[in-house]
Amino acid sequence: MMIRILSPNNLTSPLLWATILLPLASSPALAEAPCETFCVRAQEEFRETCNQQNKIPEDCMEQSGLVYEACAEDQCNLAVKVPEINELASHVDKWVSKRWEGDYQRVAISPYLNHSGKPWSYLLFYTNGGKISLEDLYDLSQDPDIDSIVKVVEVGSGLESVPIRAYWEGSPPELTEHNSAKNALAKAFGDHTYQIVARHWHPLRPILEFSAEGNSYFYDTSGGSVAFDYQPIPSTKTDLDIEQLMNLELFKREWRNFLQLHGN
């Protein structure tokens, strides 16, 4: 199985000021708006790179000013809305068609819930084996040819992350741990018909929620522990620091580029 995690540090953008921002040795004071600070960073990094190339300092200063002006005009007017999952999935379909050869069709979508019970990402499942349900994928997870049969993409649900967060060739833990989870629950709580109803936290280490006879049961894929009627505690909101704000500005640009590139 192959998995690749995508993060701000391995993203690229066709715009100069979006490729040279992270990491920086120091952080400037926050300007009037995060978009302005984002562009101040681009301006400073451009000027530093220009000076290191032994160009005329006055030219570097002038050119860095143009970088800031172009960045601010674009970034501070950048309004991006992440589509609902059904529309967003159609964009991911186009991304998949460019990423892998073959006729891969989307067969299932699994939301992954945050502390507040809302989706913070989704897993989209694709196969080249015809009409297959998610239940079929649970059975196929042990197939030795699973890497060629199933492709999985994790997509963010909002501007708090990059669009494509990760992708698999093969089975993520939701599939490989499904039968182990049901067996562990049966051993701990008795033989019932356990049906998976939700996934919590990160797809690499999810807590799988099952329902049986009106009760909720939970299985932690990171350690194999089980729980009955587990309730996550909603996280409290805190002010974002400057690095987080800069990431949000970068994420907006990445979402804009992704939706344009893989749109209708």
At residue 264, the pLDDT reads 63
pLDDT at 15: 31
Is pLDDT above 50 for 247? yes
- Name the residue ranges covered by the structural domains of the chain: 33-79, 81-228
Q: Which residue has the higher pLDDT, 257 or 88?
A: 88
Name the range with the highest mean pLDDT among 8-12, 77-81, 122-126: 122-126
Radius of gyration of the chain (CA): 22
Tokens of residue 7, six digits: 């993060």
Helices 242-261 and 34-52: crossing angle in degrees, nearest 10, is 90
With beta carbons less than 8 A apart as the criterion, state whether 260 and 94 touch: no
- What pLDDT was estimated at residue 78? 64
**Residue 30 β-bridge partners:** none
Q: Give the range among 72-86, 104-118, 146-160, 212-226 with minimum mean pLDDT.
A: 72-86
Using alpha carbons, select from 200, 35, 33, 29 the residue that is nearest to residue 110: 200
What whole-number distance in Å separates Cα of residue 78 and Cα of residue 80? Answer: 6
Calpha distance 116→233 (Å, rounded): 7
Indicate whether 12 pLDDT > 50.
Answer: no
Q: Report residue 122's pLDDT band, with 50, 70 and 90 as the boundaries.
A: very high
Percent of the chain with pLDDT over 70: 75
pLDDT in the model for residue 231: 67
| pLDDT exceeds 60 at position 211 | yes
Q: How many residues does the chain have?
A: 264
Q: What is the pLDDT of residue 31?
A: 42
Q: How confident is the model at residue 153 (pLDDT cuts 50, 70, 90)?
A: very high
Average of per-residue pLDDT across 101-106: 82
pLDDT higher than threshold 50 for residue 57: yes
Residue 18, pLDDT above cutoff 50: no
